[in-house]
Amino acid sequence: MNPPEITMKVKDMSGLTDIIFADKQQYSGFVDPNFIDLAQQFSRLQAARNGQGGAALAVYFQGQLVVDIFTGKKSQTEAWAEDTLSICYSTGKGVLATLAHILVSQGFLSYDTPVMQYWPEFAQNGKENVTLRHILSHQSGLFDIRHLITTAAEMADWPHMLQRIEQARPRFVPGQDMAYQALTFGWLVGGLLEKATQRPLKDLMQAYLVDTLALDGAFFGVPRTALERVAKPIRKTVPTTAAGAQPEAATAQARKKHKATIPEKLLELSGQNPQDFLDAMIPKGMRDFSFFSDVGLQAMIPAVNGAFTARSLAKVYAMLANQGRWQDQQLIRPEVFAELSQIQSYKRDRIMPIPMKWRLGYHRVITLGKRVKHGFGHLGYNGSGAWCDPQRDLSIAYTHNFADASITGDYRLWGLSQEALRCSDAILTGHKGWF
């Protein structure tokens, strides 16, 4: 990686020097020679922490898979493999939104018809005028998960959560404000798609995305037969006493050394209401529920527990980069694509600490310099992400299992996005450039 791309100091980074002089060939898979700089950057970013986990990177350019690489560890004892699945948190929102746009193109529903027309039980407590457009652009007011359920374990019960959504009350008049539906998005969109088509969400996913695009790994609710493919976070070992408990002194020291993360600082400086953030992001009893348990992995929680290969995510966005067309199939009608890719509001919402420029289910692309005016996608809480740029006919996806957490992604995704743009621009214009 070139030094100008490193713009911030991160606590889990062993040092700028470690990245600059890291192994440039520490990955497996295929790379088009035009994108070798991107592969080398990926290697450098991962090399210093390969013992802590693994990652995969996939890129489509002009309809062709040009990068398909992986490295590191899937678990403490297993290497990352070509078919390894990663829990990608909110990255899955973009996939679910894409499914919605395909079904709109098929005529099953429309953006501006009230949800109650497809889902009569939804018309309670001030939700009579909520539309799919409100939901996809985070303008429904239905962002509060903390007061919707009494314990996080309820999230694993799909029918129960749809009932809770039916009974929910918007926190503001739909269409008059924006608030990121961090967890509720999956039940709102997924429930509506089921009601509009009278088919289970898993069947819709299989028929309209997995089979159509021949995806090699894309699940909302991992089947039992695929559980072994899922990469798990590799936790750092903590010094213990003879009884197996962390020493009190070490615990106290860890608390003392804790520093606010960049997202925490951004939220503090933004002037936003911390309670809104808490209500949207953290259900009660979350400490007793794990998305990586067998129950958590198999549950239908589409806003946060989608499991994907990087190759599948990049392929979904390659179709979007081609304005809804893949090979000889027009999955998304041109007029629908024009709608989904249009920014719905430039207003900063009540949850995210930075402007997101929400489209219908997607947000802006975050890079380290290059502009992607017409690009869109979605990142995940662990720093995974996928996006496309129709102007360049480019898509990228990055997945991993590192125990990171950031609501705005992390520098690896930003840096990889920047280099993917630079490599594509070198082909399109003959000049890579930084901006």
pLDDT digits (tens, 9 = 90+) for 282-317: 999 999 999 999 999 999 999 999 999 999 999 999
Question: What is the rounded distance in angstroms from the CA atom of residue 215 to the CA atom of residue 277?
Answer: 34
pLDDT digits (tens, 9 = 90+) for 185-215: 999 999 999 999 999 999 999 999 999 999 9
The tokens describing 234, both together, are 């590799």
pLDDT digits (tens, 9 = 90+) for 116-125: 999 999 999 9
Residue 55, helix vs strand vs coil: strand
- 8-state DSSP, 207: I
Question: What is the rounded distance in angstroms from the CA atom of residue 258 to the CA atom of residue 407?
Answer: 18
Are 112 and 97 within 8 A, CB to CB?
no
Strand partners, 363: 377
Phi then psi for 395, rounded to 5 degrees?
Answer: -140, 150
Question: What is the rounded distance in angstroms from the CA atom of residue 344 to the CA atom of residue 200?
Answer: 29
List Cα–Cα distances, 357 to 109, 211, 344, 361, 403, in angstroms. 24, 31, 7, 11, 28
Q: What is the pTM of this model?
A: 0.90
Q: Tell me the CA end-to-end span of the chain in Å, nearest whole number.
A: 16
Helix H or strand E encompassing 300: none
Question: What is the rounded distance in angstroms from the CA atom of residue 60 to the CA atom of residue 395?
Answer: 5
pLDDT in tens, the chain (435 residues): 333 333 333 344 445 556 665 678 889 999 999 999 999 999 999 887 778 899 999 999 999 999 999 999 999 999 999 999 999 999 999 999 999 999 999 999 999 999 999 999 999 999 999 999 999 999 999 999 999 999 999 999 999 999 999 999 999 999 999 999 999 999 999 999 999 999 999 999 999 999 999 999 999 999 999 999 999 999 876 544 444 444 344 334 434 444 555 555 655 666 678 999 999 999 999 999 999 999 999 999 999 999 999 999 999 999 999 999 999 999 999 999 999 999 999 998 999 988 999 999 999 999 999 999 999 999 999 899 999 999 999 999 999 999 887 777 778 999 999 999 999 999 999 999 999
Chain mean position to CA 47: 23
Give 258: exposed, middle or buried? Use CB within 10 Å, 0-12, 13-18, 19+. Answer: exposed
Count Cβ atoms below 10 Å from residue 50 Cβ, excluding itself: 19
Q: Strands 385-389, 28-31: parallel, antiparallel or unpaired by DSSP? A: unpaired
Within 106-206, residue ranges assigned H as helices are 132-136, 158-167, 184-197, 201-205
pLDDT digits (tens, 9 = 90+) for 317-332: 999 999 999 999 999 9
